[in-house]
Structure 1
Amino acid sequence: MDRRKFLNTSAKGAIALGAGLVPHISLAATSPDVALVKGAPGAAARAAVEMIGGMGSVVKKGNRVVIKPNMSFASTPNVGANTHPLVVQAIAAMCWEAGASSVLILDHSLAPGPICLERSGVKAAAATVRDDMVYMVNDSDHYSDVKIKDGKTLKETEIVKSVLRADVLIAAPTAKSHSGAGVSLSLKGMMGLIYDRGSLHRKGLDSCIIDLCTVLRADLSVIDATHVLSTNGPRGPGKVLDENKVIASRDMVAADAVAVAEFTWYGKKFQPRQVAHIRHAHERGLGRMDIENLRVERLVL
């Protein structure tokens, strides 16, 4: 059961920034499945989203939006552990431009929240759009218990209340390696919206990630690959690849699959099927990892 169906069941029981920096992109009759844009972070994020149909195809007038970036470490953008602030800024601005009634930027930090918000640069960047969007959801009173109907390993967990009330969920991870999951991208990033992450590690991380994503299934994924943390993730420091790219897709599995194939991880090239949680997501019908059969379009700004 996806997040929106869960919400229906439970109910029964802006400022434009940087638009002039992005060239107009004429959309074909059908948009690509995945867009990959090389350029400055904010402009690349805008262009990538426009290539797959624009934010208006995701966010409708009056929608409540939650954006989930990585901002849980007390490090600056060049380390690659947190999403580049200008990517987050661009996503938030596009949501307001599309007519959102509210936009929240949320994460559950692994270091003290105020330090993470300052060093990541996300709060300051978002404040140039609106100053009431960015919050850490570290306290238990932010969460509600949720049964995971289709969970194979993870049967229940506590999810951020604001996410359960949202109409649109946007995954905005940075592209980075992960000591337990191989990589941390859109799928793995959803763990930042639950209270007890440790239980997923104990029960079986790869399976639990996919169980969680049967409820927290992002409507849009925008992967920041400005500074790719290719080793020693998720915290770093490690080897950082300055790729200056952004990947966007309505299919969070496809977005993650393209990110895996596009970059070098641990000094090697990998295929999406070699990452267990991406393979499981494909097999369970949450999205597609067979990028050779998808329409992936590239743009250099």
Structure 2
Amino acid sequence: MPASNSVSELEQIELDLFVQALKRRHGHDFSQYAPASLARRVRQLVHDHHCGSISGLTTRLLHEADFVALVVQGLSVPVSEMFRDPPVFRALREQVLPILASYPQITIWQAGCAHGQEAYSLAILLDEAGLYERSHIFATDFNPDALRRAYEGIYPARDAQLWSRNYQEAGGHRSLADYYSARYNFIKLDQRLRRNITFASHNLVADKVFCEAHLVLCRNVLIYFSAPLQNRTLTLFHDSLVRGGYLCLGLRESLDFAPVAADFSVLDAPLRLYRRGNRPASIELARTVLPFTPNDTGSS
């Protein structure tokens, strides 16, 4: 496959057929993902699985039942770190949590949780603010492999040094090492941090509102979506938030051109922190998401 981001006419036909096959055969809809990003990841799948072409990848997708899990894993982008962009977490600690402390119960939705690092970072923030016992975090993703790793809370020890720096820069009150145990070449986060986290399957492309949240955190996910899907997702977040609730996006993402932008005030523009106003929600509350357990195969 060519290494460039340009897509030939033939390759575009192959991509379109691949996307249709993935949706019709397995129910995963990637039709509204940013085309350049999708093409790049599909090319990588072709290379990694020695398929020769996108058509070869599609053939395996249609005829090998277990292959879809590898495809979905390759198409998602489960990349994160604890306290990623420390000024964002410092702002959450200093500007958002003191307001959320006025609620008797706090609900947070962390969408696109990847391997769980940001969900556990939120748990630590809440713990140090004395709010964890009356908080619940819904950490969702459509990738079952990512959810499984997030649930386990086990990470390479090589990441600990960077994460410790991030934690301190985010205003950490202790040592990050207080929150994990180290063995061999891995660290395992304290299981008490998982006590009030529900890891669950949720697909931002197709699924609906499932909770009323005081804070929605979705960082570095929208950059992979087309404009219509970004708007759909931001409307979903708007309708999930209580009035006065907070939205936190990635540093390369923005509300600027979204239909719901007028109902958000800017708390911190560079850090992409917003607060919802009073416009009524437009999406009805849907089913409660099903918690992920280690035996789940996951679904969209």
Q: TM above 0.5, one fold? A: no
Structure 1 or 2: more helix by fraction? 2
Structure 1 or 2: more strand by fraction? 1
The answer to which structure, 1 or 2, has the higher relative contact order (CA under 8 A, 6+ apart) is: 1
With structure 2 as the length reference, what TM-score do the two structures score? 0.31
Greater C-alpha radius of gyration? 2
With structure 1 as the length reference, what TM-score do the two structures score? 0.30
